Structure 1
Amino acid sequence: MTRNEVLAEVETLLTTYCNGCFLKKHHRQEKGKRHAHRFCIKECTVGEKIKNCGQKL
């Protein structure tokens, strides 16, 4: 995959799943922005896919 293809895949994942995510909104309200961000990166399946795309770069 080229760099542009990987970036397009990440953008697609973000716009499809992350914008308006109920879990992110809930965690942010209950425990704060830092916890919500950590949840998205470590526990969310979409976050795992984005992390794998980042490793390809």
Structure 2
Amino acid sequence: MCQVESMMKQYCDGCFLHQYLKKEGGRRAAHRFCITQCTVGERLQEFGKRLT
């Protein structure tokens, strides 16, 4: 859990790309990008799979 939180603080908080996509395409588009195309999002998903 600490690794996930640390990664999110380091890379996701204040992410310029997420903010831009949210402004241009909405929250869903930005979230979809983070889950499917962002390398940090992919790593976070891997951590999540290990937790379950």
Give yes or no for TM over 0.5: yes
Alignment-derived partner of residue 13 in structure 2: 19
Alignment-derived partner of residue 36 in structure 1: 30
- Extract unaligned runs of 5+ from structure 2: none
Residue 50 of structure 1 aligns with an amino acid whose one-letter code is L
Q: What fraction of aligned residue pairs are identical, expressed as a percent?
A: 47
* Structure of higher CA gyration radius: 1
Task: Show structure 1 runs of 4+ deviating over 2 A.
Answer: none
- Extract unaligned runs of 5+ from structure 1: 1-6
Please report the TM-score for the alignment, with normalisation by the length of structure 1. Answer: 0.88
The size of the alignment, in residue pairs, is 51
Matched, 1:45 2:39: yes
Please report the TM-score for the alignment, with normalisation by the length of structure 2. Answer: 0.96
